[in-house]
Amino acid sequence: MNKLSVLVSCEFSGRVRDAFIKKGHDAISCDLIPTESPGPHYQGDVFDIIDDGFDMLIAFPPCTYLCTTANRSFLNNPDRWQKRLDAMLFVHKLMNADIDKICIENPKGVISSHIRKPDQYIQPYDFGHCDSKMTGLWLKNLPLLKPTHTVEPIWKIAPSGKRMSVTHWDSPSTGRPEMTKLRAVTYQGIADAFANQWG
């Protein structure tokens, strides 16, 4: 096995970082907030360390201004337009980092229409979690991620009759920071698949 140096950007949970460390690789997470799991972590701007000789970058840019579910809030709102532009430029810079292997992960949104379409979409229910959350992977020099354990998703039915995934039911988009953090954590089955298949 070739030991890799892996940078996991925009990750406070340490879940992907720790999956690679368990496989014998050197990995560090990076976020503007502290890690919630003890381990190698840089608290600050990812571009402070992105040129430090990493073999792989896995990045989870915040989707607040990148997903399409909040498009109605952009109507006549130049402040949100600017924030979306800033978010897009951040993603573009990550994609073009001087690192051999790159994965950018984000829910279905505007990256596909403003930069390029993802190489694949994955679902948590293909990695052992009874949840549905269509997520795109933009890849550079990495193979497509293969499903590891497909299960039936569980659905919740809102009073309006709308069908919702467990994640969206348990952590509604209320603008509360704790809900945003809950949605941001990578599913363990996907984190393990990253490390097992790409490590």
Residues 6+ apart with CB under 8 A from 71: none
Region 135-146: mean pLDDT is 98
161 — pLDDT class (breaks 50, 70, 90):
confident
pLDDT confidence tier of residue 158, bands split at 50, 70 and 90: confident
Mean pLDDT of 12-32: 98
Amino acid of residue 152? E
pLDDT of 174 over the 60 cut: no
Alpha-carbon distances, residue 168 vs 69, 75, 124, 133, 155 (angstroms) = 12, 24, 13, 9, 10
Q: What is the pLDDT of residue 173?
A: 56
Q: Region 129-153: what's the mean pLDDT?
A: 96
Q: How confident is the model over 156-162, as a mean pLDDT?
A: 83
Task: Give domain 5-149+185-198's CATH superfamily.
Answer: Vaccinia Virus protein VP39 (3.40.50.150)
Q: What is the pLDDT of residues 29-56, one digit of tens each?
A: 999 999 999 999 999 999 999 999 999 9
Look at the alpha carbons of 42, 47, 51, 53 in this order and tell me if their dihedral is positive or negative: positive
More confident call, 188 vs 161 = 188
Q: How far apart are CA 155 and CA 165, in angstroms?
A: 5
Mean pLDDT of 178-187: 75
Compute the Cα dihedral for 49, 51, 54, 57 and give only its sign: positive
State the pLDDT at residue 53.
98
Domain map of the chain by residue range? 5-149+185-198
| Confidence class for position 168, pLDDT limits 50, 70, 90 | low
Give the pLDDT band of residue 159 (cuts 50, 70, 90).
confident
- pLDDT of 193 reads 98
Q: When comparing pLDDT for 178 and 163, which is higher?
A: 163
For residue 180, pLDDT over 70 is answered with: no
pLDDT at 166: 72
Percent above pLDDT 70 for the chain: 89
**Mean pLDDT across the chain:** 91
Q: Do the Cβ atoms of 88 and 111 come closer than 8 Å?
A: yes
